[in-house]
Amino acid sequence: MERGGSPAWRGGFGRLWTAAVVSRFGDALRNAALPLLAVRLTDSPLVVASVTACGYLPWLLFGLFGGAVADRVDQRRAMWLVDTARGVLVAGFALAVALGHASVPLLIALAFSLTALQTLFDNAATALLPSLVERGALGSANARLMTGQQLAGGLLASPFVPLLLSAGAFTPFAADAGTYLVAAALVASLRIRPPEREPRAADSTLRSEIGAGLRALGRDRVLRAVCLATLLCNIGMGALIATLALHVTRWLDAGDTGYVAAMTAYSAGSLAGGFVAQRIARRTGRVRALLSGCAIQTGSLLLIGSVRHVAALVAGMVLLGAMNMVWNVNQVTLMQQRSPEAMVGRIAAAFRTASVSGAPLGALLGGAVAGLCGLNGPALFAAVLFAAAVVALIPLRKQDIRVVTPDDDSRRALIN
């Protein structure tokens, strides 16, 4: 385990990073191929949208449950078993596509099952990381994980999708199944210390443990405010993303090229944000990093929604992507550092459930705002929500302490 401010690549963290990047690469292939396959199987927009909706529903149904289970079980074992199960499911689906047996109900069942398993995997992964690196290295570890995943899923996977599809509609799914199995083998090889957990009471239930996790989150003033701010921001992002194609192609009249430019700018900004997230936290502290990042995103959304020019859109999306990565790295790190070790999974589940519930709600609100106020309205609506998130974080700024990384072995992240 690394004792400094950066995690060691050798050993456990390097394998976990590789597993995360390989798995995200496969997910990007599958996520790109699923809607294209759905369009081939049906002409109904509602049916196509239902496939995407099933990617959200399990988080709302099982997100908190997944966090409670993650705090009960061997997280490493849970992760490789889940990845193995997902690999088998996707391999079976690839076989069905190859044999001509694909159907919309099968797509919906696959999307629902994969996300249901993800509720356990993601919460277990968040809880596992503090067992691999010192708490003072969590910021760097999260930044490296998220940057690697963004690079693999946002940029590297895209050119492979048309190449794989040209070999057959089943090939992206077969490749995804392979990445799951590779990731499962890497995670299974990890050697970690088990988390320190108090013995559970004989009458303890998952419901009571979920309640204990929620109460722990509610008692922590910082995490409570950050969770509220996360929900507000995700409602805003849901509104923007759901209507971005209309914003670009109709309000800006920039066509498909403009839309591709916007998404590329966002991905490029996210990569840049991954490189600077920890540096910003070391200069300002994690809460102030969240606060400043959220304020910059508010300005970016105002720029996107008020200046009718593609250059403004691209600049705004670069800043939005960069500060979103700064937010994600520091929010996850802050949550890991402030949570009791035995409750990381449950508190992470509360954050993720808030995030996921905000996205579809924001999408619905974005559509309504676009209809009432014009196609640039959702971007301005999102700016209002981000500004509200800034207001929620302002009272915390005096409690923040900069991330300290001295040269000796006592180096650690101090956040009050």
pLDDT of residue 300: 97
Note whether 78 and 118 are same-domain residues: yes
Length of the chain: 416
Asked, for residue 72, whether it belongs to a domain, the answer is yes
Main-chain dihedrals φ then ψ at residue 271, nearest 5 degrees? -65, -45
Give CA angle at 128 (123, 134), nearest 5°. 135
Asked, for residue 122, whether it belongs to a domain, the answer is yes
Note whether 179 and 224 are same-domain residues: no
Note whether 123 and 39 are same-domain residues: yes
pLDDT of residue 411: 34
Asked, for residue 2, whether it belongs to a domain, the answer is no
Q: How many domains does the chain have?
A: 2
Give me the numbers of helices (H) and strands (E) for the chain, helices first please: 15, 0
Note whether 184 and 217 are same-domain residues: no
pLDDT of residue 1: 39
CB distance 180 to 25 below 8 Å: no
Note whether 392 and 274 are same-domain residues: yes
Asked, for residue 194, whether it belongs to a domain, the answer is no
Note whether 27 and 104 are same-domain residues: yes
> What predicted TM-score, i.e. pTM, was given to this entire model?
0.81
CATH of the domain at 367: 1.20.1250.20
pLDDT of residue 245: 85
CA separation (Å) from 309 to 140, 241, 253? 36, 18, 9
Q: How far apart are CA 149 and CA 144, in angstroms?
A: 8
Note whether 177 and 235 are same-domain residues: no
H-type alpha helices, 54-156: 57-72, 75-98, 104-132, 138-150
Asked, for residue 358, whether it belongs to a domain, the answer is yes
Q: How far apart are CA 257 and CA 246, in angstroms?
A: 13
pLDDT of residue 409: 36
Asked, for residue 344, whether it belongs to a domain, the answer is yes
Look at residues 154, 188, 222 and tell me which one is the last residue of a structural domain.
188
Asked, for residue 265, whether it belongs to a domain, the answer is yes
pLDDT of residue 361: 86
Per-residue pLDDT of the chain (416 residues; tens, 9 = 90+): 334 466 777 668 889 999 999 998 888 888 778 777 877 787 776 676 667 667 778 888 888 888 888 888 888 999 999 999 999 999 999 999 999 998 888 988 998 899 899 889 888 888 888 888 887 888 888 989 999 888 888 777 777 777 787 788 899 899 999 999 999 999 999 877 666 656 666 567 888 888 888 888 889 999 999 999 999 999 999 899 888 988 998 999 998 888 888 988 998 999 999 999 989 998 989 999 999 999 999 999 999 999 999 999 999 999 999 999 999 999 999 998 888 888 888 998 888 888 788 888 888 899 899 999 999 999 999 999 999 999 999 998 776 655 544 333 333 333 33
Note whether 180 and 257 are same-domain residues: no
- Residue 173: which domain range? 12-188
Q: How far apart are CA 187 and CA 377, in angstroms?
A: 45
Note whether 39 and 120 are same-domain residues: yes
CB distance 190 to 124 below 8 Å: no
Closest among 139, 183, 178 to 328, alpha carbons compared: 139
Note whether 36 and 165 are same-domain residues: yes
Note whether 169 and 265 are same-domain residues: no
Note whether 36 and 177 are same-domain residues: yes
